[in-house]
Structure 1
Amino acid sequence: MTTATNPRVLDHPARDEIRLEDVLHALSDAVRLRIVSEMAREDAELSCSHFDLPVTKSTTTHHFRVLRESGVIQQIYRGTTKLNALRRDDLDALFPGLLDSVLAAAAAQSRRLGDPRPAATPS
């Protein structure tokens, strides 16, 4: 993991440092899965404020940190805005089909349970 010296530069694991168990842990939480599903659906860099989550701001910050530290997302500052991007290329290279399978399973579960905020379907 790179060490950030500038507070505006956040630590991210390099591709070869991303571990399956960390990714699965990050995706095992409903709020984090919802974030990743929405990011996959939007396929764009999104600010943290874009997400309407049923948790406090500090808990939201925690969820984004877990996703970043596991290698699921990348966070960068553009001016004063922190943008989030799904690390799809890295995840697909390391764990082919994993992200699409998890997102498809989450979408199927949302349909089965009648969730008003369905998860993304794989691209």
Structure 2
Amino acid sequence: MTTAAHPRELAHPPRDEIRLEGVLHALADPVRLRVVTELATADAELSCSYFDLPVTKSTSTHHFRVLRESGVIRQDYRGTAKMNGVRRDDLDALFPGLLDSVLNAAAGEAARRAGG
């Protein structure tokens, strides 16, 4: 994994180090899947504080770290805010259709739960 060059820069794995099992592990958690779903449908990057997650702040930080370290999201500081975006280009290049399939399946499951 790459290391951060500056204390305010966060380490992200390069594309060739992103592994399928890490991506699947990251997306298997309902809280992390919710974050990725919201990021994938957003028109822009979102700050960590945008998300109203049903977990403590330290647990939320853990979830974002898992997503970043697995290569699912990119995080960058903008002032004091940590901005987040899905690494769609990298994920689509490595695992064509995976992200869309997972997001569609999650939407279908949510619809079934709401209807049932």
TM-score when normalising by structure 1: 0.91
1:76 has 2:76 as partner: yes
3-state DSSP class of the match of 1:8?
A: coil
Structure 1 position 43, deviation (Å): 3.5
Structure 1 position 109, deviation (Å): 0.2
CA distance in 2: counterparts of 1:16 and 1:44, whole angstroms? 25
Count of paired positions: 115
Runs of 4+ in 1 over 2 A off after TM superposition: none
The residue aligned with 1:28 is 28
Structure 1 position 11, deviation (Å): 0.6
Which deviations, in whole Å up to 9, do the C-alpha atoms of 1:52-109 show, x marking residues without a partner? 1000000000000000000000000111111001000000000000000000000000
The residue aligned with 1:119 is none
Q: CA RMSD in A?
A: 1.1
CA distance in 2: counterparts of 1:99 and 1:44, whole angstroms? 18
Where is the helix percentage greater, Structure 1 or Structure 2?
2
3-state DSSP class of the match of 2:75?
A: strand
TM-score when normalising by structure 2: 0.96
Shift of the 36–30 alpha-carbon distance from structure 1 to 2, 3 Å rule, reads: same
Q: Could you tell me which runs of 5 or more consecutive residues in structure 2 were left unpaired when the two chains were aligned.
A: none
1:88 has 2:85 as partner: no
One-letter amino acid of the counterpart of residue 84, structure 1: N
Structure 1 position 44, deviation (Å): 1.5
The answer to which of 8-17 and 106-115 deviates more is 106-115
Structure 1 position 6, deviation (Å): 2.2
The answer to which of 17-26 and 106-115 deviates more is 106-115
